[in-house]
Amino acid sequence: MTSILTNTSAMVALQTMKGISANLNKTQSDISTGKSVASAKDNAAVWAISKVMDSDVEGFKGISDSLSVGSATLTVARQASETVTKLLTDMKGKIVAAQAENVDRTKIQTDITALTKQIESVVGAAQFNGLNLVDGSQTSVNVLSSLDRSSSGVRSSSIEVTAQNLSTSAGDTLTAGGGTLTGATNVGPAPGIPSVVFGSPVTLDGFAFQPGGTGALGRTDSGADPTTLTALIAGDRISLKIGAVEGSYVVQKGDTEDALVAGLKSSLTSNGLSDTDFTLTLSTGQLEVANNTNQAVAISASATRGTGGLAGLSTIDVVNQPASALQAIEGMLKTSIDAAAAFGSVQKRIDIQSEFVGQLTDALKTGIGVMVDTNMEEASARLQALQVQQQLATQALSIANQQPQGLLSLFR
């Protein structure tokens, strides 16, 4: 049956044409925007995933900037440490020269003082954007290094950089724990001054470490508190002076009482304490001093919080104590070398992480593109096919609209 009121063929052709037009509009939009998923209505799931990854890409851009700043900061600190190492090496050469008897130690001391001031200048200037990792103003800093996403959520992670104290500032005097003298009398060089006399040995003992136990802890170790002046930590300086000769020792991480007194004995001997006039005897955690002369000699002990790894520079004296100066410079040289090595290791890690973050960002961008970008070759072919389909649909609709015209011939 043919009806002039309902043209089924035209209706079918019209629906087909609408579908082709919708697909054609979508393809043209894909080509013009370059995205096959430009909004949530195109594909809600893919769009949501792509937006989360987009936010991560932006986050990694910030992380890349943080790593760049961290690397630059460490470059300054490392170069400062290497420069200090070179200056200390030059200083060691002069101290070694001062060990000879026929040299002008006063002029050598002048050179050492100048080098000390230069080291202080280098340490003070080694800052990047206001952050100095070598002057003791920082204990550690965190460099933002990653954005970690898991099923439980997202969190940031950091690379910890431990600061190295290469300042020459000396610390406060310890009130306890740095060793006490027992057996000393007040008879001797001056009233009220502790002294050691013939037949009455003096004992140095009573050392204490933070936080208790047998080993001194470093400043970055758990439990060590530089503000507590009643016990030793690594870097503290202990001294024992007998007459005009003074011996000193810098506490190292893991030292015991035996190590302290052995270091003091070695320093006193190296600095010229007469083994004929005085007998130094080591026992468990103790150093006994016996005076073999008939004249009382002043004796004193002290301990200071050595806040700076190079705090001993200001007390180096090649004029009166060349042997002690040589011993001291060795320890400080090791401190600066360790600092430069530590900065170099962390900087290498940061540079590796920075390279990885760059590669990861590129991978994320590629993944987002695979999900939402338009395949232009495929879109081009689809556009041509849809244009042909649109032309054919137009012709089919035209034919369907002409079908009722055939009914006129029945009424002639």
For residue 404, pLDDT beyond 80 = no
**Which stretches of 34-178 are DSSP H helices?**
44-97, 105-125
Torsion of CA 49, 51, 57, 60, to 10 degrees: -90
In the chain the domains, ranked by start, together with CATH numbers, are 47-165+338-364 (1.20.1330.10), 178-306 (no CATH)
DSSP-based three-state secondary structure for 284? coil
Q: Provide the whole-model pTM.
A: 0.62
Q: Mean pLDDT throughout 264-274?
A: 88
pLDDT of residue 192: 63
pLDDT digits (tens, 9 = 90+) for 315-352: 788 888 888 788 788 888 988 998 999 999 999 999 99
pLDDT of residue 294: 86
Q: Mean pLDDT throughout 36-44?
A: 79
For residue 119, pLDDT beyond 90 = yes
**How far, in Å, CA of 37 to CA of 157, rounded?**
32
Residue among 356, 310, 350, 314 nearest 331 (CA):
310
Among 28-32, 117-121, 181-185, name the most confident range: 117-121
Q: How confident is the model at residue 213 (pLDDT cuts 50, 70, 90)?
A: very low
Q: Mean pLDDT throughout 187-212?
A: 79
For residue 219, pLDDT beyond 50 = no
Neighbours of 235 (CB within 10 A): 24
For residue 169, pLDDT beyond 90 = no
> CA quadruple 313, 315, 321, 324: dihedral positive or negative?
negative
Residue among 34, 86, 29, 53 nearest 361 (CA):
53
- Structure tokens given for 276: 């004929």
For residue 288, pLDDT beyond 90 = yes
Q: Mean pLDDT throughout 241-252?
A: 84
Phi, psi of 168 (to 5 degrees): -105, 10
